[in-house]
Amino acid sequence: MSNFQQILNSFSIKKTLNPKVWENPNDPNKATMVPKVRKALERIADEFIEYLGDDVFVEDVVLTGSLANFNWSEFSDFDLHIIVDMQQYEDDSELYKELFNLKKQVFNDKHNIKIYGFDVELYAQDSEESHYASGVYSIMNNEWITKPKQFKIEIDKVLLSNKIKNWTEKIDKALESDEQKTLEDIKNKLKEYRQSGLEKEGELSYENLVFKFLRRSGHIQKLFDKANNVVDKELSIERKMED
């Protein structure tokens, strides 16, 4: 099976929640997180919160994404969000958002944490931030905030495949460019494309599924790496000219 087909096949709806993560995975009304998993996530969250800084007041720690839902697959990860009220920083809230985003990137890059083979990805989320997820579980309170529901939709794999191929062609073409503007434009268009899907139809929108495919296939990483390389190259030339 090709890598394309393997990733495409991962977008399917399971009959139960992931049994390694959930007790009573057949019924979200009765499902609770496996104690061993919850304890591990609590320890990881504590490590990340300490890394963010002593002055951070955390409202909650939640699990969201496909492992809190019926659309999990071998490509899923533990999407762990640290909920922070950014208004506690008053006029400096935007500055702290940028700081926490940078710390998140550094923390995730430095660590390779896995639970049952699934990566753990951490994110500091503003409590006022819109979040489009149909499954959200509070690690702190050990209860569902938003209970997932068994999806009754069928994903048109042909339609999804065509949309994916359209975007991979756009990205491949952009990767041939050494123009920073071209690379930034495609990054911004992809971000807007995903956001529009999340707002209209949620996490199972075709726009979000396309984004997930591109992330799993490595196309998004290639796009960011290329953009960074172009910036490095331009700065290096400027330094040589100054010298």
pLDDT, mean of residues 47-59: 86
- pLDDT, residue 127, reads 83
pLDDT score for 238:
58
- For 20-34, 143-157, 209-223, which range has the lowest pLDDT when averaged over its residues? 143-157
Q: State the pLDDT confidence band at 240, using cuts at 50, 70 and 90.
A: low
- Stretch 199-205: mean pLDDT, rounded? 87
Radius of gyration (Cα) for the chain, nearest Å?
A: 20
State the pLDDT at residue 103. 87
Is residue 87 predicted with pLDDT exceeding 90? no
One-letter identity of residue 196:
S
Q: Give residue 195's pLDDT band: very low, low, confident or very high (50, 70, 90).
A: very high
The model scores a pTM over 0.75:
yes
CA distances to 163, 189, 230 from 156, in Å? 11, 23, 37
For residue 54, pLDDT beyond 80: no
Would you say residue 115 has pLDDT above 90?
yes
The pair of structure tokens assigned to 26 is 């057949």
Residue with tokens 């958002």: 97
Whether the per-residue pLDDT at 84 is higher than 80: the answer is yes
The tens digit of pLDDT for each residue in 123-168 reads 988 888 877 788 999 999 999 999 998 877 778 999 999 999 999 9
Residue 93 confidence (pLDDT): 76
Q: What tokens does 136 get? A: 């959200």
Q: Which residues make beta-bridge pairs with 64?
A: 79
3-state DSSP of the chain: CCHHHHHHHCCCCCCCCCCCCEECCCCCCCCEECHHHHHHHHHHHHHHHHHHCCCCCEEEEEEECHHHCCCCCCCCEEEEEEEECHHHHHHHHHHHHHHHHHHHHHHHHHCCCEECCEEEEEEEEECCCCCCCCCEEECCCCEEEECCCCCCCCCCHHHHHHHHHHHHHHHHHHHCCCCHHHHHHHHHHHHHHHHHHHHHHHHHCHHHHHHHHHHHHCHHHHHHHHHHHHHHHHHHHHHHHHC
- Looking at the predicted structure, is the pLDDT value of residue 241 above 60? no
pLDDT on residue 155: 86
Q: Is the pLDDT of residue 175 over 60?
A: yes
> What is the structure's pLDDT at 81?
94
How many other C-beta atoms are found inside a 10 Å radius of the C-beta of residue 166?
A: 10
Chain-wide mean pLDDT for the chain? 89
